[in-house]
Amino acid sequence: MGTPGVGAAPAPIRPSPSPIEPRALPRGDGQGEDPMTDLAHDLEQPTLSSTAQVLEELQLYGYRPRTCDGADEPDPRPLPEAGPLHGAVADIFDAMVVTLSDTRLEGDLQQLLWSLTNVFHLSLGRIDRALDRNESDQRRSQRDQDGSEIRSVELERLLAHGLSLVERRNAHELMRDAAVALFERHLGECWRPRNGSRASHQALTSAVIDSRDFIAAKRRADIEPLTPAGTKIAFAGGVDCNDHTRIWAALDRVHSKHADMVLLHGGTPRGAEKIASAWADNRKVAQIVFK
């Protein structure tokens, strides 16, 4: 066996290579993080300002002012025309009549059409109550006037809101009256509310320049339909009297002498006073019911 030569150096022992471990790229603060997280953080959208949020809402949805009764924001949008309003109410009634006629639900048609008409009547009452609140607010604002611009602007805002309510009231009244006429056309009987009165106001088209004038005009518009001017003609009859020909002929003779007549009756649900009430509806004569 040979021996190594004298003076030969032994071969160097090299360490085995260790596996390479991934390391996160260092940030400026010396702490390693996921580079994708850093990129998402750098690309974060800035927070929108209040003005930018409002402009974005306007671009997406348009301008929609508050339209509740207590809103202080004016609504520049126009009111619908009378023709489309009449057409919309007529479409509702026609859909119900055509669908339910000659079916088992035809017997429910009278109550359903009465309820539809009552929806417009109740909506009109809600606006009337809002007008009453607006009148109270205007009276309070008149008492609080001290010459300052703040109080003056507040009164002007209340006046503008009151005028807007009057216009809305007139539109709802138009729909209610159209529903009443359609109820009579389809069922052959007059629509009456369960409680209260059914008054109609004439549309207010002239500008009201003073808050006191507005309140006075509103008061007159509210009272005049409930106290119609004209010759008061009282009528009474029994519930067993059903001779509608003689009753209508007698009332026509009185109407020919007193064109401004106002019919007073007891409002019984059948008999002579029921016939007289139907005559007044047909002849467009104001009537006052005493129950």
* pLDDT 10s digits, 104-161: 999 999 999 999 999 999 999 899 899 989 888 888 888 888 888 888 888 888 888 8
Q: d(Cα 153, Cα 211) in Å, to the nearest integer?
A: 12
Determine the length of the chain.
291
Place of tokens 């003073």: 210
Cβ within 8 Å of residue 203, ≥6 positions away = 170
Looking at residue 18, its pLDDT comes to: 53
Q: Which residues of 121-136 are buried (b: 16+ CB within 10 A; e: fewer)?
A: bebbeebbebbeebbe
**pLDDT(208) > 70:** no
**pLDDT(56) > 50:** yes
CA dihedral 108, 109, 114, 119 (to 10 degrees): 90
Q: Look up the pTM and report it.
A: 0.54
The region of weakest confidence among 31-35, 93-97, 125-129 is: 31-35
Looking at residue 31, its pLDDT comes to: 53
The region of weakest confidence among 178-192, 201-215, 235-249 is: 201-215
What is the domain partition of the chain in residue ranges? 59-227, 228-291
Place of tokens 């809103």: 71
The region of weakest confidence among 50-59, 159-168, 233-242, 260-269 is: 50-59
